[in-house]
Amino acid sequence: MKPVTTDLCDAYEDRLAAGTLRVMAPVFRAFGKQDAFAGPAATLKVFEDNSLVRTVLETPGQGRVLVIDGGGSLRCALVGGNLGVLAQKNGWAGIVVNGCIRDTAELDACDLGIRALAAHPQKSQKRNIGQSEVALQMPGAVVRPGNWIYADADGVLVSDEQLEG
């Protein structure tokens, strides 16, 4: 199913009001071949260090979306072309980054959806520092492991449970 975030917002106004469906702030740019994607969230909190991003993307994605809180840093990239290929190969549906990506042409060739704040040519540090499967404060919405992510050209939604669209 290709999510249509506007239809989901209209159909689930009660959940928006209750806070069980949340809309991320409209700050993300789209990359990757898939303009719309959905799946349960795997979460990662890092800052200017993408070593754990690789570790997670090396595992079977099983249609999940990796949500990375990079602290909003605009000083380096957390995901590049090699990691995009790895995510595609391992069955990840998408990646949402509160931070930057690089190798945009390579990522745009990957069959997955990617949302990030911006592109940046510099790679990150490799210190193996970060936390996985923790609640994240992303722009405009909290994301917990297992929440459902729905993304398309109109925005990114976070739901406490899977929605019928």
Q: What is the pLDDT of residues 67-114, one digit of tens each?
A: 999 999 999 999 999 999 999 999 999 999 999 999 999 999 999 999
Residues 6+ apart with CB under 8 A from 10: none
Burial of 150 per CB tally in 10 Å (0-12, 13-18, 19+): buried
pLDDT one-digit tens code per residue, 129-142: 999 999 999 999 99
φ, ψ for residue 104, nearest 5 deg: -60, -40
pLDDT of residue 1: 63
Is 80 exceeded by the pLDDT of residue 154?
A: yes
Average pLDDT, the chain: 97
pLDDT of residue 7: 96
Superfamily of domain 5-159: Ribonuclease E inhibitor RraA/RraA-like (3.50.30.40)
Is 80 exceeded by the pLDDT of residue 60?
A: yes
Is 90 exceeded by the pLDDT of residue 2?
A: no
Is 90 exceeded by the pLDDT of residue 146?
A: yes
Q: What is the mean pLDDT of residues 38-49?
A: 98
75-92-45 Cα angle (round to 5): 40
Spatial distance between the Cα atoms of 18 and 89, rounded to a whole number of angstroms = 37
Q: Are the beta carbons of 132 and 56 closer than 8 angstroms?
A: yes
Is 90 exceeded by the pLDDT of residue 152?
A: yes
Q: What is the mean pLDDT of residues 35-53?
A: 97
